Amino acid sequence: MPFIFSKERGLQVINLKDLKHHLTFISSDSTQGRKFGTETDELGITVKNLITDAEKIGLKPSADNYFQPVEIVSTKPGKNSFIIV
């Protein structure tokens, strides 16, 4: 079997129905996926699900595991905030 890059493999196996299912799951109330930065035990369920899905499509971790610490900054817009595009 020829070598297939993970991106190409992912594009072969991801479809709209599955994508909707996965996004609905990770944003559900049961995994508390609706508030950015929420730390709960339910995040472990989401992490395990994402790792399983990544492995199914052939993605490999870039280090010993799939975790990479990153600094996350979050802001909440004020009542009178607006964006000019």
Per residue in 47-75, pLDDT (tens digit) is 888 888 888 877 888 778 888 888 877 77
Quote the CA–CA distance of 79 and 53 in Å, as a whole number. 39
Residue 29, class by beta-carbon neighbours within 10 Å (0-12 exposed, 13-18 middle, 19+ buried)? Answer: exposed
Please report the pLDDT score of residue 1 as a whole number: 45
pTM, full prediction:
0.54
Is 31 in contact with 25 (CB distance < 8 Å)?
yes
Q: What is the DSSP letter of 53?
A: H
Per residue in 3-47, pLDDT (tens digit) is 555 677 667 777 888 889 888 888 887 776 655 666 666 677 888
